[in-house]
Amino acid sequence: MTLSPFHIDNDNEQLYQGNLLVSEHEMVEPLTLELIERLVFGPEAIKCLITRHHSSRRIQLEEQPLRQLQQMWEKTFKHHLTFDHAFSLDDFPNGSCWTIRVWQGQDCWYLVFTEHH
């Protein structure tokens, strides 16, 4: 049985898997590279989600296997991740970077990566 895809409802700013609410608690404290690395490589349960489609109502997400994220971390994410909301793509190699949102669920953390180019 295939699980329903994840999405963020833009109206209520909550994270869902299909019709199931999985988190209404987005981390609002300042995020840091150290915190994200600790989540990615630490003992906490996490799910990695990549933004695939945007609409005014919802953001469709695709689950990325944690092992794959860990393997790609240095080359794809670590040096291309920004926590600055006023970033410029000119500041990144190849004019591409990632932003991240972190959500706390009942049994795991959800890391939502969005690529900008």
Residue range 75-111, pLDDT digits in tens: 889 989 999 888 888 888 788 899 999 999 999 999 9
User: Are the C-beta atoms of residues 46 and 111 closer than 8 Å to each other?
Assistant: yes
Residue 1's pLDDT is what?
Answer: 45
- When pLDDT is averaged across residues 23-38 and rounded to a whole number, the result is 92
Helices (H), 1-117: 33-41, 66-72
Would the pLDDT of 67 be above 90? Answer: yes
Alpha-carbon distance values, 65 to 6, 40, 77 (Å): 14, 11, 14
pLDDT band at residue 32, thresholds of 50, 70 and 90? very high
Tokens of 7: 């999405």
Neighbours of 97 (CB within 10 A): 21
Residue type (1 letter), 66: L
Would the pLDDT of 2 be above 60? Answer: no
What is the pTM (predicted TM-score) of this model?
0.90
In the predicted model, what is the mean pLDDT of the chain?
91
- When pLDDT is averaged across residues 41-46 and rounded to a whole number, the result is 94
Residue 90's pLDDT is what?
Answer: 87
Tokens of 86: 């006023």
- When pLDDT is averaged across residues 68-81 and rounded to a whole number, the result is 92
HSE value, Cβ hemisphere, 13 Å, CA-based, for 54: 6
The winner for highest mean pLDDT among 14-18, 29-33, 74-78 is 14-18
d(CA 60, CA 41): 25
